[in-house]
Amino acid sequence: MFNFNSFLFCKQAWRNGKASSVRYYAEHSCALRSYGQVVNPCARRKGIQRKRNILTIHIICDWRISRHDKSIKVSGNTYRVDADVVPAYRYRDYSSDYSGNPLNYIGGIEIHPDSGGKIINFPEQHIRQGRKKNRETNLGYKKCVRIIKNMKNDMLSSRIFVPNTISSFGLESLLWNVANGEYTRYSSLGYKFDDVIRFLSNNKNMFDSYKEANGIKKLFPTDEVLKSYQDFITKLSSFFEYDRTEV
């Protein structure tokens, strides 16, 4: 079983490419083992050995592994699926704490891409808020998310231009901002999705206030990205036509 939480802490060693910090062993298991302790030879002072955590990664030797800008691609085989592993630091946002309480923070992760800069995300809140939204919409939210992702692919197959700024994460977050009532008015999934698209088409001027599905970060950081999603919904509305005529 892949322990993602443990893997979150290995980014620095991976970025630095230190063989002493990230070790690969060919074994007949695929799991992140517990942290080991190594002595930093450059940090010996007055007989005190300063230790730092290292991460030992156990990977079957016939796996293909490739490093990307933000992730490590681990290719599967006939009985193991492909996996994208994202190494990251733990991140704590204390901006809303005014009492000096060390436990009063918003927890997230901080990713340092090879291309530079940093990305702060909140995956735990994303999962929690997504599940909550799905319950409140009688499972309609996740179903419509799958539909809009498939519709995007259908548009591309039909030679309709869709910019690279339109991501699966962005579409999921976009639908997270749709009012719950749009998902529950009808029992038919086609009607549900039609209502969702109508809602987005009628509220494109509100996109600038939308949040990511974690409920924390602003969904559209720039006007360029904002306009690309507004244009996408316009194209999707024309591409998707659902006949409401009862049989």
Q: Give the tens place of pLDDT for each residue, 134-156.
A: 999 999 999 999 999 999 999 99
- Is 203 buried (19+), middle (13-18) or exposed (0-12) by CB count in 10 A? middle
The beta-strand segments (E) located in the chain are 22-26, 31-32, 36-45, 48-59, 65-67, 72-74, 83-85, 89-93, 106-111, 119-121
Predicted pLDDT of residue 63: 53
Instruction: Reduce the DSSP state of residue 65 to 3 states and report it.
Output: strand
- CA dist 105 and 3 (Å) reads 24
Q: How many CA atoms lie within 13 A of 135 on its CB side?
A: 6
Contact status, residue 176 vs residue 213, Cβ threshold 8 Å: yes
Residue whose C-alpha is closest to residue 59's, from 80, 47, 74: 74
Predicted pLDDT of residue 200: 97
Instruction: Reduce the DSSP state of residue 95 to 3 states and report it.
Output: coil
Report pTM. 0.68
Contact status, residue 192 vs residue 140, Cβ threshold 8 Å: yes
Strand 22-26 relative to strand 48-59: parallel, antiparallel, unpaired? parallel
Separation in Å, CA 212 to CA 33, 82, 175, 184: 33, 26, 10, 22
Separation in Å, CA 134 to CA 126, 142, 229: 12, 6, 22
Q: Which residues of the chain have pLDDT under 50?
A: 1-62, 245-247
Strand 48-59 relative to strand 36-45: parallel, antiparallel, unpaired? antiparallel
Separation in Å, CA 125 to CA 64, 108, 132, 135: 32, 8, 10, 15
Tokens 């006949």, residue located: 243
Residues in Cβ contact with 95 at an 8 Å cutoff, skipping those fewer than 6 apart = none
